[in-house]
């Protein structure tokens, strides 16, 4: 049975590898990236022919909202949402919205996107959040971009624990009324930036 699967951060690394496998298996793959050139290259690399592309910078919550709106406008159902996009380092650590960029991309954007797309996922859908073995207790001030700035590794580890925490919390909240919410540690894909 063909599934419709949205994968954020699917222009390289784990996201691109997953997209290729799913496309080759005959699924409709919705690719997301923040670079049009990389999105086009990823779409051209897909072995299947049922691919769509969505451009959005997940460090900007307005673009996360626009991404969700575009998917909602085009699709009546979504079988799987894979929140794969993630960031460890960036030249600027505070976004235009005043958030730490690692928390914005790794934690807050996936939460917002998931919330907006829940109506498409129904009770049989799946939300797969790519977390990490690198996790650390979350500083609530850092989560909202306040207080002293964290170094890259600290912000990344905290953002991944926050992702795991909201995954568990949302799963317990919606129970059988919504999709399965799963946080996974994919391990390292050594042939990529990770």
Q: Backbone phi, then psi, for 90, in 5-degree steps?
A: -155, 145
Q: Which residues pair with 51 in a beta bridge?
A: 29
Cα Rg of the chain (Å, integer)? 16
Note if 156 is an active site residue: yes
Sheet holding 80-83, edge to edge: 51-55, 28-33, 4-7, 80-83, 126-130, 180-184
Give which of 36, 46, 39, 34 is closest to 86, Cα–Cα: 34
β-bridge pairing 4-7 and 80-83: parallel
Q: Which of 156, 159, 162, 167 is catalytic?
A: 156
Q: Which residues are catalytic?
A: 156
């Amino acid at each position: 049975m063909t599934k419709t699967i949205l994968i954020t951060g699917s222009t390289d690394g784990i996201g691109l590898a997953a997209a290729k496998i799913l496309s080759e298996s005959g699924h409709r793959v919705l690719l997301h990236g923040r670079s049009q050139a990389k999105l086009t290259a990823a779409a051209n690399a897909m072995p299947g022919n049922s691919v769509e592309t969505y451009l959005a910078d997940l460090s900007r919550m307005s673009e996360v909202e626009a991404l969700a709106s575009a998917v909602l406008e085009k699709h009546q159902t979504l079988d799987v949402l894979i929140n794969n996009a993630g960031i460890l380092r960036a030249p600027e650590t505070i976004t235009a919205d005043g958030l730490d960029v690692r928390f914005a991309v790794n934690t807050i954007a996936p939460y917002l996107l998931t919330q907006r797309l829940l109506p498409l996922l129904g009770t049989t859908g799946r939300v797969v959040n790519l977390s990490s073995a690198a996790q650390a207790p979350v500083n609530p001030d850092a989560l909202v971009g306040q207080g002293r700035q964290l170094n890259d590794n600290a912000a990344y580890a905290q953002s991944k624990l926050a992702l795991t925490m909201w995954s568990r919390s949302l799963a317990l909240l919606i129970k059988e009324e919504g999709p399965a919410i799963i946080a996974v540690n994919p391990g390292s894909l050594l042939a990529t930036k990770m």
